[in-house]
Amino acid sequence: MKNLKEKVVWITGASSGIGEELAYALAREGSFLILSARNKEKLEQVKVKCLESAAKCWVHPVDLSGNQQLDAVVKAVLAQAGRIDVLINNAGRSQRSLAKETPPEIDRNIMELNFFSVVELMKLVLPQMLKNGSGHIVVVSSISGKLGFPMRTAYSASKHALQGYFESLRTELTNDNIKVTIVSPGRIKTNISVNALTKDGSPYNRMDEGQANGMNTALCAAKIVKAIKKERKELLVGKTEILMVHIRRFLPALYYKLVTRIKN
């Protein structure tokens, strides 16, 4: 099992939800942390709590949905931390709108953040991992990256794209001692539905009932950390909703009937 003590771990989307709890869990493992998200003030608050356990923690705010030069951010991170052992691509945004009512710019917005920014950041970090002869890339996808759900067309597409890209990347890195773990959460109790984009680009501002009753973020983070330590290739994490993945595979007719009944 991999020891994460004093490993430099970069977490995007670290100001709230799964990313925030991953920061706390990895701090307890003794990792050296790099925290990124848009909200610098919240990141500083997370940092204070992390330093109760971790010896080192740095904050590097970044808006992955914008046109910010990621190259400069990566150079700044490497200059400060020296290396990146584990990159956790966790930042992302969901959607709550019907495809027939959603303009293409919303689809592009979601794809840019959830897919293209993840790929770009990975490509900037990968050369340093290759040079060091080791590394671990973790991608937080979604159960929506394996299934299609109503009101989530672009979101589901972005997560399917992550699944295909990083599955393929893993095969390319087999001989380079760089691991790839794809995490597919189901319903985790975060604000992902509250912050989801609607058809006009405004936030949904409601928590789905399923989200409200989802797995708590601390337990989710603990399972992800365990998967990283075990160098697992894939992790499905959630409650009974993750059974839909298996129903889709083995009982497709039942899946097609159930999925149309999902309201949120």
114-to-142, 226, 230 alpha-carbon distances in Å: 11, 24, 26
For the chain, the first-to-last Cα distance in angstroms comes to: 38
Q: Which helix (H) or strand (E) holds 70?
A: helix 70-81
Of 155, 165, 204, 255, which is the active-site residue?
A: 155
Q: Identify the residue whose tokens are 């890195």.
A: 173
155 is catalytic: yes
User: Any long-range contacts for 68-72 (C-beta under 8 Å, 24+ apart)?
Assistant: 70/117, 70/120, 70/121, 70/124, 71/124
Q: How far is CA 125 from the centre of its chain?
A: 16
Residues 6+ apart with CB under 8 A from 55: 6, 30, 32
| Residues acting as catalytic residues | 155
